[in-house]
Amino acid sequence: MLSRMRVDTTNREDTPVVYAASPGGPDDIPRAARRAWGDIEAVLGPKGRKAFGYWSPQDREYRACFSRLETDDPAALGLRETVVPGGPYRRARLEGEGAYEKIGPTFDELARDADVDDTRPFLEYYRREAEVDVLVPVRPS
């Protein structure tokens, strides 16, 4: 699959976010993601915000994240806050119909031959409807 898409490495900046979390291991990610996105979207709209999916193998939870605004009061909304860590990530962009269904297999393929940095999360950066960057944390070269 990777041979049919552009794969590169990008450096991301730290991004403060608010989030809703749902527990789950690798096999539970689709269900955990649906729960977390439902929870955050019930109390906060995405308009004017960056949207990230965040899965940390160490924490075994999926986080649906929106970039944090100064006016946000996460506790009042029942949300938490953190910083999506920056650094180098191996990236593939998925676009069009079926993009979301390809996220899991794309993570697997990106990680297969990469020097994965297991201290940082795997990320989905939702650029717009049906366009998502799949990002695997890698160690600096």
List the CATH number of the domain containing 67.
3.20.80.10
Over residues 85-132, the pLDDT tens digits come to 999 999 999 999 999 999 999 999 999 989 999 999 999 999 988 899
pLDDT at 1: 55
How much of the chain exceeds pLDDT 90, in percent? 79
pLDDT at residue 4 greater than cutoff 70: no
Range of the domain at 68: 2-137
- Predicted structure pTM score: 0.91
Number of independent structural domains in the chain: 1
Over residues 23-55, the pLDDT tens digits come to 988 888 999 999 999 999 999 988 889 999 999
CA angle 21, 116, 122 (to 5 degrees): 20
Over residues 51-84, the pLDDT tens digits come to 999 998 888 999 999 999 999 999 999 999 999 9
Q: Which residue has the tokens 């506790």?
A: 75
Please give the DSSP secondary-structure letter assigned to residue 69.
P
Exposure b/e, 32-42, CB count within 10 A at least 16 = b: bbebbbebbee
